[in-house]
Structure 1
Amino acid sequence: MPMGLIVKALSGYYYVMPDAAEDSNPIQCRARGIFKKRGISPLVGDRVRFSLTENGEGTVDEILPRSSELVRPPVANVDLVVLVFSIDEPQLNLPLLDKFLVHTESAGLDAHICLTKQDLAAGNPEVQDVEAGVHMSLTDVIRLYESIGYSVSLTSAKEEIGVDVVLDRLAGCISVFAGQSGVGKSSLLNAMVPGLSLETNQISMKLGRGKHTTRHVELIRLNNGGIVADTPGFSSLDFLQVDAEGLGSCFREFAEYAQQCRFRGCLHQHEPGCKVQEAKENGDIAASRYEHYLHFLSEIKDKKRRY
């Protein structure tokens, strides 16, 4: 039975690229009914076994074990998440960036932060974080996330700045582009892959965000052996798989302090002897990151009460 990779899912069809013929067109397949009975859905990025039907299409018969799985965007077997956020139009949203990082950490995946539209940034612009009540320069934002352990790149698809840096980071792995609509994910991919011509759209100045030019998840092959999943943009995420006790472990810089807390299962909120709170007071943990943690913790608790 032939094997392949699901490169696109659309309207109940799964488009499988056979292992034996990567230069050919993907085969349009339906999934066997048994998957629905078992509550399983094939995902873009799945390695599958499939069979051909008489009409030239195919049927997905078996989904091979996954190394990773993301709920939103729905994609499997990803090695790296590229979080694409624009410096301006729309403005850099640090609470949303941290929320994406929580989801990435909870899935056990590494993240690369890609800041786009550098051509719109004059000098060293200020980034406002209304939720945390903090203002930082763009340089300080980059230093913060690099100090935590994330790689950060500045790019401009329009002026072809930093595109090669991101390409090198994606070499030889399956990665997923995620972020708000209108931040330039498709423009960046167009700059990476000559002739790709993904649809792009201007940011809505009235709404402060872009239109969803990407409407489904699709894998795009790079010329360096990498594969990228382009995904629909979105502006919010729900904490579906992160609980209150596990949230702190999704903030990398908390780790060395959390293990010194007086109480096991410390939520780093009001507990006496909490070393995470102490580190925040001493400036060893950024105020913005800690405030976002508290906001997310409240969001998770509220959701738990509702259900």
Structure 2
Amino acid sequence: MLEGTIIKGIGGFYYVDTENGLYECRARGIFRKQKITPLVGDRVSISVVDEETKKGVVENIEKRDTELVRPPIANVNKALIVFAIKNPKPHLSLLDRFIVLAEKENLEIVIILTKADLDDENTLDEIKGIYELSGYKVISVSNKTKLNIDKVKDELKGNIVVFAGPSGVGKSSLLNEIDSKFELQTGEVSDKIKRGKHTTRHAELLKLECGAMVADTPGFSSLTLDSISENELKEYFIEFEEFDNCRFGFKCIHENEPSCSVKEAVENGEISKQRYESYIQLLNEIRQGKRRY
């Protein structure tokens, strides 16, 4: 059998990249009985049905290191979360949702801020200040001026990476700058609704010349936190950990409890006030969601 990685899945067909080339495969019926659906990013073993036409069957799926739900991709180890400085306006609460979900999957996170050439209100410095204080690497880029494209390439090398972020921020355009052979379809942001058109229709791993595989995925306008509990959320705001020596210990959710070290750190400017307010907003959203069930 051949070993490879599923790089695309459409209509029950799985396209597996192997050392002998790309094979179009069906999955064995046993996966359906076991309620297992092959995912883009899965490391698999295939049997070859027809070498001339490159047809095969997925026989085995290796254990996944990670599994994302939206987008549905396996074995990603790094998330590049892409937001624009302008057009569309960056909504930091949405950025924090992406971060929380990536932290839940234990992914390394890098924040990419696109359209840096449009920064006429110092938005870039403000956002970088918030997230660098929180412990994240932030890279500002411009496709127009080629600013820091090489830095993004360095982040990609040797990784399976998901590009996440809302529509219209320039994920596909950035990938085109990184590796022009893809010539990915890009879309203009609607002037009427200021939201990107969904130009990417399915999850697909793209092989880069720099030795990485990246997932170009549909943009999202909302993300839910249904799988995260009230007590769990604080774990995904990584800057809280340094100050997590509260009076009530691990039971403290850093909201209304007295002698809370996290709240004190916010007051002292050691934790971003914006990030803390975002945490409280998400905490309340989780509670409201649980009440509906």
Give the superposition deviation at 1:143: 2.1
Corresponding residue for 1:96? Answer: 94
Instruction: Pick one of 42, 47, 55 that aligns with 1:57.
Output: 55
* Structure-1 separation of matches of 2:226 and 2:108: 19
Q: TM-score scaled to structure 1, two decimals?
A: 0.91
Q: TM-score scaled to structure 2, two decimals?
A: 0.95
* Structure-1 separation of matches of 2:29 and 2:99: 35
Corresponding residue for 2:25? Answer: 29
Q: Percent identity?
A: 47
* Structure-1 separation of matches of 2:89 and 2:229: 29
Corresponding residue for 1:119? Answer: 117
Equivalent AA in structure 1 for residue 44 of structure 2? V
Instruction: Pick one of 74, 88, 93 that aligns with 1:76.
Output: 74
Corresponding residue for 2:16? Answer: 16
Which range is displaced more, 178-187 or 7-16? 7-16
Equivalent AA in structure 2 for residue 92 of structure 1? P
* Structure-1 separation of matches of 2:284 and 2:65: 31
Give the superposition deviation at 1:52: 2.1
The DSSP-based 3-state class of the residue aligned with 1:195 is helix
Give the superposition deviation at 1:260: 3.1
Instruction: Pick one of 234, 257, 261 that aligns with 1:271.
Output: 257
Please tell me the root mean square deviation across aligned C-alpha atoms, in Å: 1.5
The DSSP-based 3-state class of the residue aligned with 1:214 is coil
The DSSP-based 3-state class of the residue aligned with 2:234 is helix
* Structure-1 separation of matches of 2:245 and 2:236: 14
- After the TM superposition, which residues 136-151 of structure 1 pair with which residues of structure 2 at under 5 Å, given as runs? 137-151=123-137
The DSSP-based 3-state class of the residue aligned with 1:48 is strand
Please state if 1:42 is matched with 2:38: yes
For the Cα contact (< 8 Å) 2:130–2:274, is it kept in 1? no
Distance 1:249 1:261, change over 3 A: farther
- After the TM superposition, which residues 169-188 of structure 1 pair with which residues of structure 2 at under 5 Å, given as runs? 169-188=155-174
Corresponding residue for 2:283? Answer: 297
* Structure-1 separation of matches of 2:133 and 2:15: 41
Which range is displaced more, 203-212 or 30-39? 30-39
Give the superposition deviation at 1:70: 1.0
- After the TM superposition, which residues 139-218 of structure 1 pair with which residues of structure 2 at under 5 Å, given as runs? 139-218=125-204
Equivalent AA in structure 1 for residue 202 of structure 2? H
The DSSP-based 3-state class of the residue aligned with 2:173 is helix
The DSSP-based 3-state class of the residue aligned with 1:202 is coil
Equivalent AA in structure 2 for residue 108 of structure 1? N
- Identify unmatched segments of 5+ residues in structure 1: 127-136
Give the superposition deviation at 1:225: 1.2
- Identify unmatched segments of 5+ residues in structure 2: none
Give the superposition deviation at 1:263: 4.1
Corresponding residue for 2:238? Answer: 252
Equivalent AA in structure 2 for residue 118 of structure 1? A
For the Cα contact (< 8 Å) 1:179–1:233, is it kept in 2? yes
Which range is displaced more, 3-12 or 254-263? 254-263
* Structure-1 separation of matches of 2:93 and 2:209: 34
Corresponding residue for 1:105? Answer: 103
Equivalent AA in structure 2 for residue 170 of structure 1? L
* Structure-1 separation of matches of 2:250 and 2:91: 33
* Structure-2 separation of matches of 1:299 and 1:33: 40
Equivalent AA in structure 1 for residue 63 of structure 2? P
For the Cα contact (< 8 Å) 1:261–1:276, is it kept in 2? no
Count of residue correspondences: 291
Structure 1 moving runs of 4+ over 3 Å: none
The DSSP-based 3-state class of the residue aligned with 2:250 is coil
Deviation string 1:5-28 (CA, Å, 9 cap, x unpaired) is 00011222211011x22xx3x211
Corresponding residue for 2:64? Answer: 66
For the Cα contact (< 8 Å) 1:248–1:254, is it kept in 2? yes
Give the superposition deviation at 1:150: 1.0
* Structure-1 separation of matches of 2:242 and 2:112: 26
For the Cα contact (< 8 Å) 2:116–2:124, is it kept in 1? no
Give the superposition deviation at 1:284: 1.8
Give the superposition deviation at 1:186: 0.4
